[in-house]
Structure 1
Amino acid sequence: MTINCKGKLVDLSIPKVMGILNLTPDSFYDGGKYKDEGAILNQAENMLAEGATFIDLGAYSSRPGANHVPEDEEKKRILPVLELLLKHFPETFFSIDTFRSSVASQCLEMGAALINDISAGNLDPEMFNVVARFQVPYILMHLKGTPQSMQKKAVYDNLTKDLLLYFSEKIEKAHALKINDIIIDPGFGFAKTLEQNYHMLYHLDIFQTLNKPILIGLSRKSMIYKALKSSAKEALNGSSVLHGIALLKGANLLRVHDVKEAQECITLLETLKANA
């Protein structure tokens, strides 16, 4: 199970880690942490040293109820940082966390390697065409509504079946445009209640029937710290536990704040499988 990133094949049959680099002032865990060039470069270097295969750059906070960010502001936040990172780490695969096709297009022109779209094209129908034009991997996440409205839309006839239908339709559309490198993300915390999140994780292996790599974004989310009655800052251990479960159920890519710990989860699970 491979994807093509800038002419290089990345094998996802052995799970990989995607490090999160938020460029927003209001993200739920690390908002406003990386404000200057030194902090940004240091964090990127640390994540790569700890085993990250990808670094995901986001300039629009998608936490529940987050403020809407104008398109110009998103570009102002992300374009200079991408330029800086590509200058210092030209071989790194940078993912762009955006639902806007114009942001995606400019970042891909600069040298970004893949697009991570929380809306799978629903918030900007032109996104599919941009991805098709650049022929880069496309992460399709499940979301109902917008970051501002999604928590009011956590209503499903059958959660798993509804998501399978959603992804089947998105994959068909992508294939029609000759987008072949597709990764699916069930969207933990996006238009789902705490109970729905755990139901989805328990049945995660069902999504392997789509025959696409599965990305999991669980890191330090409220489904962990609310269940533990703690906080995002105290949710590292819980994140590792759920990452292990996700890997056992077929996850191929872990999108995380804490790269070292996620990589250790993968190493231990791969060791377990090798000695089964």
Structure 2
Amino acid sequence: MRITTRNKTITFGPRPLVMGILNVTPDSFSDGGRYSQKEALSAQVRTMLDNGADLIDVGGESTRPYAEPVSEHEELQRVLPAIACIRALHRTIPISIDTTKAEVARQGLQEGADIINDVSGLRFDPAMVRIAIDYQAPVILMHMRKTPKDMQDEPVYDDVVQEIIDFLAERISWATAQGLDREQIIVDPGLGFGKTVIHNLTILKHLGKFKNLGCPLLVGHSRKGFIGKLLSLETQERDLATALLSSYCATQGADILRVHDVEKTVQAVRLHEAIILAP
């Protein structure tokens, strides 16, 4: 399985690819405000590259529970320098732009990003799918209940796994009807986005079912609140648990793991790969 951008082909193999999270926001739940200065931003990018990141995801608008939206101008002011910084340090590493705004995606792709990561599943901005098609950009379609501002207000499902699969199948169908190549679509069940602790655990238990959609599978479990609630850990204490979950997700067929601490997850998935490839 592979996806193709304008300039490169990304191939999925026996181990998941590790996507490093680069939040350039003042209010993200984990690292808000840490990389607003150029020196800190460059240092973090170098750390992720040195630790073996396969992709880097740049986000300029927090999608934590109850987050307020930011203006298009403000988001662009945050993400474009970050993309330029990554490209100055590494010319070819795939970059995804984490946004629900078509104009932010367009300018991000022009600046050097390769992939659109849309947590709304192409629902919030009708122009987004055309940007993806025009720029030959793969798209990550994520499931989210409502919006970040109200997604955690009493989330209820009859069958959380099947309902998410149905949602993603509908989004794939809609996107391909608009002209997006199905082979350019990545799916994400959206852990933590309008889900309770039990919902998240159920999704992880049945993660392999999402492979039936026929698209690469991304899992964004890093430092999520359900880890903290289960293990009584503060946000910055959750990287070991995240790496353990990364290893589990690898066994369930995940293709991309989106994480804050690249080093620990790279170690986890390389061990997984070594076991898979052993005689």
Whether the TM-score (by the shorter chain) exceeds 0.5 is yes
**Alignment identity in percent?**
39
Matched residues in 2 for 1:87 and 1:238: separation?
A: 33
Task: Name the SS of the counterpart of 2:231 in structure 1.
Answer: coil
Task: Name the SS of the counterpart of 1:13 in structure 2.
Answer: coil
Q: Spell out structure 1 runs of 4+ moving beyond 6 A.
A: none
Match of residue 148 from structure 2: 147
Deviation at 1:153? 5.5
Alignment deviations for residues 203-223 of structure 1 (CA, whole Å, 9 cap, x no partner): 000111111111011111111
Choose the corresponding residue for 1:195, options 195, 198, 201: 198
Match of residue 186 from structure 2: 183
Task: Name the SS of the counterpart of 1:20 in structure 2.
Answer: strand
Query: Is the 8 Å Cα contact of residues 129 and 180 (structure 2) preserved in structure 1?
Result: no
Matched residues in 2 for 1:9 and 1:170: separation?
A: 23
Match of residue 17 from structure 1: 18
Match of residue 57 from structure 1: 58
Match of residue 274 from structure 1: 277
Matched residues in 1 for 2:124 and 2:23: separation?
A: 20
Q: Which runs of 5+ in 2 are unaligned?
A: none
Task: Name the SS of the counterpart of 1:55 in structure 2.
Answer: strand
Matched residues in 1 for 2:21 and 2:134: separation?
A: 26
Q: Counterpart of 2:77 in structure 1: which amino acid?
A: K
Matched residues in 2 for 1:241 and 1:89: separation?
A: 29
Matched residues in 1 for 2:275 and 2:228: separation?
A: 28
2:200 matches 1:224: no
Task: Name the SS of the counterpart of 1:190 in structure 2.
Answer: coil
How many residue pairs are counted as aligned between the two chains? 276
Matched residues in 2 for 1:183 and 1:135: separation?
A: 14
Query: Is the 8 Å Cα contact of residues 215 and 255 (structure 1) preserved in structure 2?
Result: yes
Task: Name the SS of the counterpart of 1:150 in structure 2.
Answer: coil
Query: Is the 8 Å Cα contact of residues 132 and 180 (structure 2) preserved in structure 1?
Result: no
Deviation at 1:63? 0.4
Task: Name the SS of the counterpart of 2:152 in structure 1.
Answer: helix
Matched residues in 1 for 2:9 and 2:140: separation?
A: 16
Query: Is the 8 Å Cα contact of residues 2 and 13 (structure 1) preserved in structure 2?
Result: no
Task: Name the SS of the counterpart of 1:151 in structure 2.
Answer: coil
* Matching of residues 16-55 of structure 1 within 5 Å: 16-55=17-56
Query: Is the 8 Å Cα contact of residues 145 and 153 (structure 1) preserved in structure 2?
Result: no
Matched residues in 2 for 1:94 and 1:275: separation?
A: 31
Match of residue 159 from structure 1: 160
Match of residue 7 from structure 1: 7
Deviation at 1:92? 2.1
Q: Counterpart of 2:197 in structure 1: which amino acid?
A: L
Query: Is the 8 Å Cα contact of residues 20 and 256 (structure 1) preserved in structure 2?
Result: yes
Q: Which runs of 5+ in 1 are unaligned?
A: none
